[in-house]
């Protein structure tokens, strides 16, 4: 019986040591709550976007944060990954992706500007040859232009601009005109944003679209 007695003593000692090491009130480990993130949901065609967004998020106990009707048809909401997966599996949902902040620290050249050799990192380009649009005016007939944009303001000829949609300056209330203006004459070498085809040209904002 001696071996059995020794085994019982060892087990008792192990239990005592465990009891000493464990803090008072120690219980089962609680699972960490699911991480809440913002998600962007792209919907297929058909139906009222806002109504569809409300119905889909209600199924996972959430509500829409933003409704998108221009660049994409869809909405955003905040919730855990399992909620995003449930919505992604629903009919009529094209894609669900995590919404992440995007920042641009340094100036960049869009691929289209490189492709036409206006400014190319490895090949001789128009900018290197001195063709930067100096002395040229470019009228942007669009939704207006963001008159205070740091990549555009230095090149905007506001005096010749015109708002054909109403009173006030030709300020961009949509974003498309500013995008076009940046492609045409985004300011070079200011350390931020993008470079345009003709960064020394003057931008004349003509607002013809709302």
pLDDT digits (tens, 9 = 90+) for 159-169: 999 999 999 99
- Reference 137, options 175, 172, 185; nearest CA is 185
Residue 91 has pLDDT above 70, yes or no: yes
Predicted confidence at residue 188, as pLDDT, reads 80
d(CA 112, CA 115): 5
DSSP 160: G
Residue 19 has pLDDT above 70, yes or no: no
Predicted confidence at residue 71, as pLDDT, reads 82
The residue-averaged pLDDT of 122-127 equals 89
**Structure confidence by residue, pLDDT tens digits, 131-154:** 999 999 999 999 999 999 999 999
Partners of 126 in beta bridges: none
Distances (CA, A) of 46 to 43, 51, 75, 92, 93: 9, 11, 14, 9, 11
DSSP 158: G
The residue-averaged pLDDT of 107-115 equals 88
Predicted confidence at residue 189, as pLDDT, reads 76
Residue 21 has pLDDT above 70, yes or no: no
The confidence band for 7, taking pLDDT boundaries of 50, 70 and 90, is: low
Residue 76 has pLDDT above 90, yes or no: yes
Q: What is the mean pLDDT of the chain?
A: 88
Task: Give the best-scoring range by mean pLDDT among 48-57, 93-102, 182-191.
Answer: 48-57
The proportion of the chain whose per-residue pLDDT surpasses 70, expressed as a percent, equals: 84
Strand stretches in 47-201, DSSP E: 66-68, 74-79, 93-98, 137-142, 162-163
Predicted confidence at residue 123, as pLDDT, reads 82
Predicted confidence at residue 117, as pLDDT, reads 93
Q: What totals of helices (H) and strands (E) does the chain contain, helices first? A: 5, 7
Strand stretches in 122-167, DSSP E: 137-142, 162-163
Beta strand 137-142 with 202-207 is: parallel
Predicted confidence at residue 25, as pLDDT, reads 57
- Reference 184, options 149, 147, 123, 137; nearest CA is 137
Residues 6+ apart with CB under 8 A from 83: 39, 60, 61, 62, 77
The confidence band for 122, taking pLDDT boundaries of 50, 70 and 90, is: confident
Q: Which of 97-101, 103-107, 182-186 has the lowest mean pLDDT?
A: 103-107
d(CA 43, CA 96): 9
Predicted confidence at residue 206, as pLDDT, reads 98
Tokens of 175: 């974003």
Q: What is the helix (H) or strand (E) element at residue 19, kind and residue range?
A: helix 2-21
For tokens 């019982």, the residue is: 8
């Amino acid at each position: 019986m001696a071996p059995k007695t020794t085994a019982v003593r060892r087990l008792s000692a192990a239990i005592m040591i465990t009891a000493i090491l464990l803090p008072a009130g120690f219980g089962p480990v609680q699972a960490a709550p699911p991480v809440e993130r913002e998600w962007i949901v792209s919907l297929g065609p058909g139906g009222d976007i806002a109504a569809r967004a409300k119905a889909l998020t209600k199924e996972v106990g959430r509500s829409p944060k933003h409704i998108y009707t221009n660049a994409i048809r869809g909405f955003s909401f905040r919730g855990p990954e399992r909620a995003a997966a449930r919505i992604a599996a629903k009919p009529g949902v094209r894609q669900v992706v995590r919404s992440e902040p995007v920042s641009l620290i340094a100036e960049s050249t869009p691929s289209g500007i490189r492709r036409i050799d206006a400014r190319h990192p490895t090949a001789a380009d128009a900018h290197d040859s001195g063709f930067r649009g100096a002395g040229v005016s470019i009228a942007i007939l669009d939704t207006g232009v963001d008159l205070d944009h740091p990549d555009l303001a230095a090149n905007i000829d506001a005096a010749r601009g015109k708002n054909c949609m109403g009173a006030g300056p030709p300020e961009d209330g949509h974003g498309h005109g500013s995008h076009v203006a940046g492609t045409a004459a985004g300011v070079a070498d200011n350390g931020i944003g993008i470079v345009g085809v003709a960064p020394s040209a003057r931008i004349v904002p003509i607002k013809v679209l709302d």
